[in-house]
Amino acid sequence: MAHEMMMLALQLGVILVAAKLCGWFFSRKLGQPKVLGELVAGMVMGPYVLGAIPLGALGPLFPVVSGSIPVTPELYGIATVGSVLLLFTSGLETDLPTFLRFSGKATVVGLGGVIISFFLGAWITVLFNPAVDSLMDPEALFLGIISTATSIGITARILSETRKISSPEGVTILAAAVLDDVISIILLSVVVGISTVSLAGGTVAWGSIGAVALKAVGFWVLCMVAGILLAPRLTKQMKRMESLGVLAEISFGIALLLAGLSEMAGLAMIIGAYIAGLSFSQTDVAGEINERVNAVGEYLVPVFFAVMGMMVDFKALGSILVFGLIYNVAAFIGKIAGCGLPALFVGFNLKGALRIGTGMLPRGEVALIVAGIGLSSGIIGNDMFGVAVMTMLLASVAAPPMILASFKGGSGYRETLVTDEMQGMVTIELQFPSERTADFMRHSLADAFRGEGFFIRTIEGSVRAWQIRKEETVLILRRLGAKLELSAKKEQEAYARLMLMESLVDFQEFADSLRSMQEPEMMGANLLMRMFASQHDETEGPNKVQ
């Protein structure tokens, strides 16, 4: 046992150093998502490349483990916790009201992308892989699912960097990405059921498959409804402990419990983790939970992606390089046409449809998780797992420049977007003489709200807008140059004005105290004079001090 734990510590240390360095290089030097660097680190350090080299008496650091997963169960278990963390934080970052508002349009877009991508992926597999003879072959079904998933993390990061996350196209892409990942997982449950029966040599029991689908949808709906109803009450009780750290730890514990229940219900664990995150996202402490859980995720999520990279057997990949490229062309067409065409019928013009199509291109964690499940269950081999990784790599590299180019120009939505959050709200404006004064006042106002029990978090995609929230009371604070804007609902306007007045009184007292101080110029001159006097004393030595 001691030897296994020693090896695990060494492996985690090497993975973290390599993944972090590669992630930094891809992000800072190549302008690509960190996840690409973490995957590459895993490929290079893994059991099929450098990890197989013996290190004296220690032997190979990452020996190939027999079975479908080439790494040790201990290392794979830690990587699985990383995937749970990733989906829990993805759920926390999802804006539930926007998700629900655009769910109709996003459902049309997401379904179009899933259906066309799925059939193109499966059809290409049948057409170019002699070992697969029908669309119902387990391998064809898995390749179909892998082409459907969209990466929430990669898409959100690109939209945030381009400040397009609040645009009609941005919210539709995010909501559709969430939905098609959910649909992909439900499809995964169905396909695993079909594949298990096929591999066992029996006949497909459509009644059992229907039960699997019903159970998957039922678990999703039941947990979502329960989560939306219970999460606010639960956090209200937990806040009585007066420890946000404990609140975040209990919330992650609930995410792990839901992940385990999801697995028991026949779904992937990430579904339970995402439901937990989405449920807590509507509470006023979502930002505080996310901040603390993300701190742990910074260590474990790179381990997950690096371990996914370690599963790539380059020898097996070489034999399917041509097929992989053809499959990727089909996967690109499936997303751009499958998501773009339906968008034309739900309020978007041609420009908006192209933005949505390209925005749905990135593949990431869900595609890898689906491929990992296929590999671990023996349904696909290392070669097809390599195709999945190639799909994620090519889509992640090609999508950012395509998204950036498509978002140039005017709006892609035929109507003017008015968010639910801003409907019926009044905005109070205060003009200050400089940006530094406005920023000082913002900090003072934020402290005043915190003193009243409010929680403050930066609005995603913006560096100068903040959401101030306490249970059902929500205010929006913005700093536009030297101007501050505080938006609140009409019935909360009086309270917002009182808070502003209180902060202005504090600001006035601070300004008065500054005027009562010794002249700042004289204080600066005294500081300089004493500094030069001190240097002179050191030069002359202690005996010269008078």
pLDDT at 253: 93
**Eight-state DSSP code of residue 54:** B
The verdict on pTM exceeding 0.85 is: no
d(CA 529, CA 537): 12
Which carries the bigger pLDDT value, residue 294 or residue 412? Answer: 294
Tokens of 307: 């371990």
Cβ neighbors of 171 (< 8 A, separation 6 or more) are 95, 98, 101, 102, 165
- In the chain, % of residues over pLDDT 70: 83
Residue 58 has pLDDT above 60, yes or no: yes
Q: What is the pLDDT of residues 118-168, one digit of tens each?
A: 899 889 988 888 888 888 788 888 888 888 877 665 666 666 556 666 677
d(CA 241, CA 230): 18
d(CA 184, CA 117): 11
Q: What is the pLDDT of residues 308-363, one digit of tens each?
A: 888 777 776 677 788 888 998 998 998 899 898 998 888 888 888 898 888 888 77
pLDDT at 293: 86
Are 128 and 373 in contact, with CB atoms under 8 Å apart?
no
Residue 85 has pLDDT above 80, yes or no: yes
Which carries the bigger pLDDT value, residue 411 or residue 251? Answer: 251
Cβ neighbors of 359 (< 8 A, separation 6 or more) are 155, 158, 159, 169, 170, 173, 399, 403, 406
pLDDT at 538: 64
Are 373 and 145 in contact, with CB atoms under 8 Å apart?
no
Report CA dihedral (54, 58, 60, 63) to the nearest 10 degrees. 150
Domains, in order of start, for the chain: 6-37+52-66 (no CATH), 86-407 (1.20.1530.20), 419-528 (3.30.310.50)
Tokens of 123: 């059809």
543 Cα distance to chain centroid: 64
Residue 18 has pLDDT above 60, yes or no: yes
What is the residue-wise DSSP string for 113-146? HHHHHHHHHHHHHHHH-TT--STTSHHHHHHHHH
d(CA 179, CA 107): 7
What is the residue-wise DSSP string for 215-226? HHHHHHHHHHHH
d(CA 51, CA 63): 7
Mean per-residue pLDDT, 394-406: 75
- Helix and strand numbers (H, E) in the chain are 20, 5
Tokens of 402: 């395509």
Q: Nearest Cα to 20, choosing from 366, 310, 301?
A: 301
Least confident residue range of 149-153, 405-409, 467-471: 149-153
Q: What is the pLDDT of residues 161-215, one digit of tens each?
A: 566 666 778 778 877 876 776 677 667 767 776 776 666 666 656 666 677 667 7
Q: What's the distance, Cα to Cα, between the start and end of the chain in Å?
A: 69
Strand 473-480 vs strand 483-489: parallel, antiparallel, or unpaired?
antiparallel
Does residue 416 sit in helix, strand or coil? coil
pLDDT grade, residue 546 (50/70/90)?
Answer: very low
pLDDT at 545: 42
Residue 421 has pLDDT above 60, yes or no: no
Q: Is 533 exposed, middle or buried (0-12, 13-18, 19+ CB in 10 A)?
A: exposed
Tokens of 289: 């939970």
Angle value at C-alpha 62, between 56 and 64, nearest 5 degrees? 110
If you average pLDDT over every residue of the chain, what do you get?
Answer: 79
Which carries the bigger pLDDT value, residue 478 or residue 14? Answer: 14
Q: Nearest Cα to 497, choosing from 443, 431, 421, 429?
A: 429
Backbone angles phi, psi at 434, to 5 degrees: -150, 165
